[in-house]
């Protein structure tokens, strides 16, 4: 009965168009009342969701990404990417993928990625004769790479929800190879689609130009070294790394690139504050939801249910992927991580899937939902930048879906793709 109330109210509110965070909170209150507990329990669990120290890294990384976004790094990364891959078929599409990958290592956010790169690349592709749907699709698909690269907010969130034992530094390392595979997959899809539509290439500017643009982009790219290298080397924790990243981003944007005025700085602060507030509200509400699932023993029920269906590890993993892909169509990434981790992580452990490996599977599988209607936030932002409807954007997105799902399957069934790099860097 209580489980039906929890998930029934949640599903009903989503159908009615209530924002996910409010739907989670209201479903939790309804379930607590159905159980007969004092509603103050929900407030207590919401408050406890904020107490994990590692979560402090998220607002700081968001702020650092906002500073780099407004400080001129995106233009320099696009210029560098153009000199490297612009001469390939579908030149500007390839530039968008490489630029998104580079910027993803700075921002750690798919939304920031598509906003920074898309606002420049989508209009440029349109001017060069690329169709709007192609320009939007390649840009939003490439933005997913940011989910797996340090300083990914979602990997930090998974580490906090997993209950310890999953190192943020190891998660950052585990996501690098899958992220590069995803970028390569999107580039291949972009190439074949561009060739089929006979899209133009860019002229190779010469190795001198490549070197010049690389030097210009190095101060921004060093942020990746500061973040990941510092954590990996044990110089500072993830939270300390985030604080250092903010200071470094300020120094680069103010003293090196000199691309940030007072108005841009205020905009970065206010947008980072709004984003942090929204994320923390989701985290708090989902913490109460997760506590209720544990109280009702839903994770153990999930393990027993899957055991009753099959004892084949491959089948179980495929079922989990289907669950993630379906949920991703109507839920945002953060609440999905918070809700699915307590349910699916015990299942993964029961079938000898390492928590580190499962974290990459979860973030990538749920992340595909960001470019999947009806809720795909990254797809909606990209469509708004390209001034087309989501239906128009869907015309040519299937090759990119195929690339992303292919990488997801490879990462799921070849654990070494995620586990090799963290193991190597420990020695």
Rounded to an integer, the average pLDDT of 316-338 is: 84
Q: What is the mean pLDDT of the chain?
A: 82
Would you say residue 91 has pLDDT above 90? no
Question: What is the rounded average pLDDT of the residues 146-174?
Answer: 84
What is the pLDDT, as a whole number, of residue 404? 93
Task: Please report which confidence band the pLDDT of residue 188 belongs to, taking 50, 70 and 90 as the band edges.
Answer: very high
Round to whole Å and give the CA distance between 109 and 148. Answer: 9
In this prediction, residue 17 carries a pLDDT of: 76
Q: Based on the number of CB atoms within 10 Å of its own CB, is 347 exposed (0-12), middle (13-18) or buried (19 or more)?
A: buried
The answer to whether the beta carbons of residues 109 and 156 sit under 8 Å apart is no
The whole-angstrom separation of Cα 106 and Cα 46 is 30
Residue with token string 């193991």: 423
Q: Measure the CA–CA gap between 47 and 32, rounded to whole angstroms.
A: 16
Residues 6+ apart with CB under 8 A from 247: none
Cβ atoms < 10 Å from Cβ of 17 = 7
The stretch 188-215 carries a mean pLDDT of 83
Q: Is the pLDDT of residue 8 over 80?
A: yes
CB 328 within 8 A of CB 290: no
Residue 427: the pLDDT is: 45
In 3D, which of 243, 247, 331 has the Cα closest to residue 289? 331
Q: How far is CA 157 from CA 4, 121, 166, 196, 224, in A?
A: 27, 30, 11, 40, 19
- What distance in Å separates the CA atoms of residue 61 and residue 101, rounded to the nearest whole number? 17
> Residue 223: is its pLDDT beyond 90?
no
Q: Give the pLDDT band of residue 405 (cuts 50, 70, 90).
A: very high
pLDDT higher for 175 or 214?
A: 175
**Which pLDDT belongs to residue 426?**
65
Across 64-74, average pLDDT: 76
- pLDDT (tens digit per residue) in 292-311: 877 877 777 777 777 777 77
The pair of structure tokens assigned to 181 is 């595979």
State the alpha helices, DSSP H only, in 16-131.
20-35, 40-48, 57-70, 73-85, 91-107, 110-127
pLDDT band of 119, cuts 50, 70, 90: confident
> Once rounded to an integer, what is the mean pLDDT over residues 125-154?
86
**Contacts of 231 by beta carbon, 8 Å cutoff, 6+ apart:** 150, 168, 169, 172, 237, 238, 241
* pLDDT given for residue 177 in this prediction: 93
Quote the tokens at residue 407. Answer: 């990488």
Cα distance between residue 411 and residue 357, in whole Å = 8
User: Cα–Cα distance between 164 and 206 in angstroms, integer?
Assistant: 49
- Give the mean model confidence (pLDDT) for residues 275-296: 79
The pair phi, psi for residue 292, each rounded to 5°, is -65, -40
What's the token pair of residue 351?
Answer: 């079938």
pLDDT band at 359 (very low <50, low <70, confident <90, very high): very high
Percent of the chain with pLDDT over 90: 13
Q: What percent of the chain has pLDDT over 70?
A: 97
């Amino acid at each position: 009965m209580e489980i039906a109330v929890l998930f029934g109210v949640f599903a009903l509110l989503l159908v009615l168009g209530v924002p996910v965070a409010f739907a989670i909170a209201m479903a939790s209150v309804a379930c607590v009342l159905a159980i007969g507990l004092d509603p103050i329990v929900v407030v207590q669990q919401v408050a406890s969701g904020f107490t994990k120290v590692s979560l402090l890294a998220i607002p700081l990384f968001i702020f650092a990404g906002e500073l780099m976004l407004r400080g001129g790094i995106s233009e320099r990364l696009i210029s560098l990417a153009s000199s490297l891959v612009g001469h390939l078929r579908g030149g500007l599409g390839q530039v968008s993928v490489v630029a998104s990958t580079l910027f993803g290592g700075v921002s750690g956010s798919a939304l920031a990625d598509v906003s920074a790169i898309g606002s420049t690349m989508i209009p440029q592709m349109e001017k060069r004769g690329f169709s709007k749907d192609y320009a939007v699709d390649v840009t939003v698909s490439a933005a997913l790479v940011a989910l797996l690269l340090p300083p990914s907010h979602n990997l930090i969130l998974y580490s906090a929800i997993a209950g310890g034992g999953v190192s943020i530094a190891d998660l950052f390392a585990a996501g690098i190879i899958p992220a590069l595979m995803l970028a390569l997959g999107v580039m291949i899809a972009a190439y074949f689609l561009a060739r089929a539509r006979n899209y133009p290439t860019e002229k190779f500017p010469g190795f001198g130009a490549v070197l010049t643009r690389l030097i210009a982009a190095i101060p921004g790219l060093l942020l990746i070294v500061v973040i990941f290298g510092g954590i990996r080397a044990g110089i500072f924790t993830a939270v300390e790394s985030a604080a250092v990243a903010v200071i470094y981003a300020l120094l680069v944007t103010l003293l090196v690139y000199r691309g940030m005025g007072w108005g841009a700085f205020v905009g970065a602060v206010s947008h980072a504050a709004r984003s942090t507030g929204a994320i923390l509200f989701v985290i708090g509400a989902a913490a109460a939801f997760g506590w209720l699932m544990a109280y009702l023993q839903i994770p153990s029920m999930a393990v027993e249910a899957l055991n009753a269906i099959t004892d084949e590890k491959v089948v179980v993993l495929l079922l989990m992927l289907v669950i993630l892909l379906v949920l991703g169509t109507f839920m945002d990434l953060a609440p999905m991580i918070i809700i699915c981790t307590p349910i699916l992580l015990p299942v993964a452990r029961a079938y000898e899937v390492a928590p580190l490996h499962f974290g990459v599977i979860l973030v990538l599988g749920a992340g595909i939902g960001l470019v999947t209607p009806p809720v795909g936030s990254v797809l909606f932002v990209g469509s708004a930048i390209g001034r087309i409807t989501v239906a128009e954007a869907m015309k040519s997105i299937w090759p990119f879906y195929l690339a992303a799902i292919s990488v997801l399957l490879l990462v799921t069934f070849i654990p070494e793709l995620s586990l090799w790099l963290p193991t190597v860097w420990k020695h």
